[in-house]
Structure 1
């Protein structure tokens, strides 16, 4: 991640709070928060989230390369159901799922750069050589077509109901959605310093000052900052199986501190 770009010390961003299904965000200091879920059944969506794009259209999302994000984080357990993480994305699915205050946006193809934990029920990859779950440093890169441009492709989604056609669609999507990721194996229940750098032609991730992943597959367009913990899962397996839903979860939390982000 060496670069001559003169990143400054960064700023503490102004963040909006989203809470649903027993999720709660609690400030712990000027640059620290606890995002917590109460014990939740698989019948209700639970979310605790901080982001900087709540009411914004995607064209006004703030971040574009070069960007550096730094924070320290820990979670209550390494094997939590659902997902949690922190980084930048374009909120591609635009599904508020019962959380009030979300801007309404058309679904689009995903662009993201983040540290992302996905429980074993998740399989969030189109490539067979990329880890589908675990704690990942990951990127997604896709064309920034407007959501309306994807409407003609909606009938093709019926092919997801039949595994042979779903496998074909999965291969087809690889032509439009590129991704890269590596699974990380350190203890996420203790404090670690996480940093990512996003440039127009490359990206790098570090943990405690050590580079853990570098890639030339980088997101396109403008992205928003997101930090979250929830109880949902989604899978699109190499066998053509499509699954999504909610997981029962015990009380769980994600704590962050020292949040800083710098960019142009």
Structure 2
């Protein structure tokens, strides 16, 4: 049994974390599209090999809801485990998590799954199988703009980079229980005790993250890339409760 570890706030742009009767509310304030606003709790900052860098098998359970339904949320939000590649040099994106992205966010990385919306997802771009595609990118990306070739080539790339996704039909604004079972070889994501995604596991180490922000990203296999922040005329939040085996931070 893993000892409880304490998550810590990491907020920007006037966002914050407040205590509620059931747990914590991560609050992103309203404002124009002039800065990044992010309310987040996490356990980042631990290098590989540190005992606080998570390794499988590991299970995360929590209850969560958002202030608005999916068609009114702005930016991205979610919770789960990922590699935090921006802070750990030479780490490729790896994750097993529940992820929401509001348009114009668009990352259609799994065949047949929209690039936005409320999803369960797994990715492991650090696999050796994934690296073989890097030097081929200048040739492959133009070919992916041809629909018949895209349908033929992309499933192979998707498999090698460890991408698997499933759309979540449950209302993100209502309380639901979420569970991530990160196994040595296979991961399982459940909503209210029902499996919504089962896929090969990303490798560790990974870290906990729970957040809501106002950003969007565009990463399309056909080569279109983009990033930006969105305006929002009202406060929005994600509320979490019953985090196991982690403890809440003190806001």
Structure 1 length-normalised TM: 0.76
CA contact (8 A) 2:127 2:160 kept: no
- Offset of residue 127 of structure 1: 3.6
- Offset of residue 132 of structure 1: 1.6
Can you list the C-alpha shifts for 1:163-182, whole angstroms capped at 9, x where unaligned? Answer: 738869x9596475221010
User: Could you say what secondary structure the match of 1:56 adopts?
Assistant: coil
After TM superposition, list the pairs within 5 Å mapping 1:64-213 onto structure 2.
64-79=55-70, 80-92=73-85, 94=86, 104-106=87-89, 108-143=91-126, 164=142, 174=158, 177-213=161-197
User: Could you say what secondary structure the match of 1:185 adopts?
Assistant: coil
Task: Count residues with an aligned counterpart.
Answer: 231
- Offset of residue 238 of structure 1: 4.4
Question: 1:244 is matched with which residue: 227, 236, 240?
Answer: 227
CA contact (8 A) 2:56 2:204 kept: no
After TM superposition, list the pairs within 5 Å mapping 1:226-237 onto structure 2.
226-237=209-220
Can you list the C-alpha shifts for 1:202-245, whole angstroms capped at 9, x where unaligned? Answer: 11111112222222x21112100111111111112244321111
Question: Structure 2: where are the runs of 5+ without partners?
Answer: 247-251
CA contact (8 A) 2:144 2:221 kept: no
The root-mean-square deviation of aligned C-alpha atoms, in Å, is 3.0
Question: 2:5 is matched with which residue: 13, 24, 29?
Answer: 13
Question: Structure 1: where are the runs of 5+ without partners?
Answer: 1-7, 95-103
Can you list the C-alpha shifts for 1:75-107, whole angstroms capped at 9, x where unaligned? Answer: 011231111111000002x1xxxxxxxxx4325
1:41 aligns with 2:32: yes
The whole-number CA distance in structure 2 between the counterparts of 1:192 and 1:12 is: 22
In structure 2, the CA distance between the partners of 1:246 and 1:173, relative to structure 1 (3 Å rule), is farther
